[in-house]
Amino acid sequence: MNYDQAETLLDEMLAPLPSRDFFADIGRAWREVKSGNDNPRRFLLGENPKHTILEAYRTHAETLDCHSITATLPPPPVRPASSAEDFQQLISSFHDRDYTVRVPDVTGLTPQLDRFGRALEYMLHQPVGSSVFWSRAGGKAVVHYDNRDNIIIQLEGRKRWFVSTEPPGLQNNWKQVGEPLPNVQQHRAVDVGPGDLIYIPRGTPHTVESTTESLHLSLLFVPLTLREAIIAALDYASDFERPFRETVVNRPGLDSLEELPGQVSAGLSRLVELSRSPDFVTNAMRHRSSRVIADLPPLEKQAGAAAVSVDMRVRHSPVAVAHLRHSGSVLDFSLPGGHIAIHPGVERELEFIAATPEFRVGDLPGAAGDDVKVALVNRLVAAGFLEPATD
């Protein structure tokens, strides 16, 4: 997946809101995007989202959690399910006690959701989580805010959202001790049906009520913040500035911190000095991006793939993304699941591979001979980044 493919996919899934407008709004204001039953995002979990969820009984039955503000009985225990029908009975047992069920980590259940999530991760250079909320008619949630930005896509049924019109709090991705409960005194109510989308920035109080039995998909992420950028700069500086890696406290206990304020101040001053260079900040962000991409779940590797030849056509695997940067005397080709260190003599070839969704091995640019091109592609096929283009 390259930039243009990711942008095209996001334009399709966010329509009629252009993806560039969506990214311009991140962290600033919540949005509603109305559509209809035929919008592609309505089918992110397939034609029948309930069936898709229930068929995941082997992997997801024991991961359920729930919420309710009206339940008078404790939730039933989570247990393994022996079939889709048994999984349905388990979910119904939660609904019978007035609980909404959350099914976490659903990204891997359909190829289309895999690609949508990966397109977001590619653009944001941040991981994206996913869950499905399955509610009975009349199900309600407590007033709360999420500590990650939330893209909500209605899959089945209807819900009414009550969202604060105050500026988002943008709270960090953890709760503060003693923090007061949020409220939605100043709010707007939004009714959503299948295919409709709501984007809610982190720290925006809201609640929701299911007007019918309902399934909605939630995609959660934290965009790049100034805090994250400063941390990236510090991490990058610590790779080549020894003082950032040196021990500052040699004795346990708070009584040994007398010298620490001066050391912290000196470290921050050095970081400020380094950050005045645009190249330093750019390199720090590239360094961060390579780690973020490598920390994504590993790509699936094909078993028994055909031997690579000069005349073979190959393509990016469906959720493959990459980040290429110089790292000392090698090129760091980051892909989901890790890093590949490669000789800089094939930089032009790697740039082409990362940017080109499908190509013939022999058409790779650069000075490398055919044997090197075949070896390079073979290595990326083995890593799951490339696959034979067989159709």
Q: What is the pLDDT of residue 37?
A: 78
**pLDDT band (50, 70, 90) for residue 68:** very high
What is the average pLDDT score of the chain?
92
Q: What is the pLDDT of residue 254?
A: 60
Asked whether the domain spanning 313-388 has the same topology as the one spanning 3-221, the reply is: no
Residue 271 has pLDDT above 80, yes or no: yes
CA 68 to the chain's CA centroid: 27
Calculate ∠ Cα 229-231-237, nearest 5°: 105
Q: Which residues contact 329 (CB under 8 A, 6 or more apart)?
A: 344
CATH number for region 3-221: 2.60.120.650
d(CA 92, CA 136): 9
pTM of the predicted model as reported, rounded to 2 decimal places: 0.91
Q: Enter the tokens of residue 236.
A: 């990058």
Q: What is the pLDDT of residues 286-296, one digit of tens each?
A: 999 999 999 99
**pLDDT band (50, 70, 90) for residue 180:** confident
Residue 249 has pLDDT above 80, yes or no: no
Residues making up the chain, counted from first to last: 391
Calculate ∠ Cα 256-258-259, nearest 5°: 110
Q: What is the pLDDT of residue 14?
A: 95
Q: What is the pLDDT of residue 255?
A: 63
d(CA 27, CA 226): 12
**pLDDT band (50, 70, 90) for residue 256:** low
Q: What is the pLDDT of residues 222-239, one digit of tens each?
A: 999 999 999 999 999 999
- Choose among 53, 135, 63, 50: nearest CA to 98: 135
Mean pLDDT in residue range 189-201: 96
Mean pLDDT in residue range 375-379: 93
- Tokens 């930005």 correspond to 149
Q: Enter the tokens of residue 282.
A: 């750019």
Q: What is the pLDDT of residue 251?
A: 65
CATH-assigned architecture of domain 313-388: Alpha-Beta Complex (3.90)
Residue ranges of the domains in the chain? 3-221, 226-294, 313-388
Q: Which residues contact 104 (CB under 8 A, 6 or more apart)?
A: 60, 63, 65, 129, 130, 131
Q: Is 92 helix (H, G, I), strand (E, B) or coil?
A: helix
Instruction: State the sign of the Cα–Cα–Cα–Cα dihedral 385, 223, 188, 143.
Output: positive
CB 205 within 8 A of CB 188: no
Q: What is the 3-state secondary structure (H, E, C) of 224-250?
A: CCHHHHHHHHHHHHHHHCHHHHCCCCC
Q: What is the pLDDT of residue 318?
A: 93
Q: What is the pLDDT of residue 200?
A: 96
CA 257 to the chain's CA centroid: 39
Residue percentage of the chain with pLDDT more than 70: 96
Burial classification of residue 67, based on how many CB atoms lie within 10 Å of its CB (0-12 exposed, 13-18 middle, 19 or more buried): middle
Q: What is the pLDDT of residues 92-132, one digit of tens each?
A: 999 999 999 999 999 999 999 999 999 999 999 999 999 99
CB 343 within 8 A of CB 372: no
Residue percentage of the chain with pLDDT more than 90: 83
d(CA 294, CA 333): 9
**pLDDT band (50, 70, 90) for residue 173:** confident
Q: What is the pLDDT of residue 116?
A: 97
Report in angstroms the alpha-carbon separations of 31 from 23, 40, 135, 324.
12, 19, 23, 34
Residue 195 has pLDDT above 90, yes or no: yes
